[in-house]
Amino acid sequence: EVQLVESGGGLVQPGGSLRLSCAASGFTFSNHNMNWVRQAPGKGLEWVSYISRSSGAIYYGDSVRGRFTVSRDDAKNSMYLQMNSLRVEDTALYYCARDLHYYDSDYWGQGTLVTVSS
């Protein structure tokens, strides 16, 4: 069974940092492109970042580029999101999502909540 489990969320002050993790199981992690997608309270889905197989291609949304860094460790079946210079508007439920092929996320985790507040 495919499982994606996010962790690392929590309460952080503006300007602070957090590192999110996504632990994958039930499939060959190295064969899949991966994404981070977030949903702010009462808002819609917002794509955050994409990392391809073997980390050959990495892309970011305009609102996080330069502040967030995505990475993966295929040996540990894990993906990470290093979030720096956090802003109040980064408050959201952060999902880890696996792509079936390209930009078509067929499995999602349950999300980890990030709250940026003073």
In sequence order, the 6+-apart residues with CB closer than 8 A to the CB of 105 are 35, 37, 97, 98, 99
Tell me the C-alpha distance between 35 and 108, whole Å. Answer: 9
Strand order of the β-sheet with 18-25 is 3-7, 18-25, 78-83, 68-73
Among 7, 8, 111, 115, binds other proteins (CB under 8 A): 111
Out of 12, 22, 24, 50, name the contact with other proteins by CB under 8 A.
50
In Å, how far are 53, 82, 98 from 78, measured between CA atoms?
12, 13, 11
- How many residues bind other proteins (CB under 8 A)? The answer is 25
Nearer to other proteins, 29 or 95 (CB): 95
Asked whether the beta carbons of 70 and 58 are under 8 A apart, the reply is: yes
* Nearest one of 112, 100, 85 to 20, comparing CA atoms: 112
Nearest CB to other proteins, comparing residues 19 and 43: 43
From 8-16, 22-30, 80-88, 94-102, span contacting other proteins (CB under 8 A): 94-102
Which of the stretches 15-23, 24-32, 37-45, 67-75 binds other proteins when contact is defined by CB under 8 A? Answer: 37-45
Question: Which region among 8-16, 70-78, 83-91, 105-113 touches other proteins (by CB under 8 A)?
Answer: 105-113
Contact set with other proteins (CB under 8 A)? 35, 37, 44-47, 50, 57, 59-62, 95, 97, 100-106, 108-111
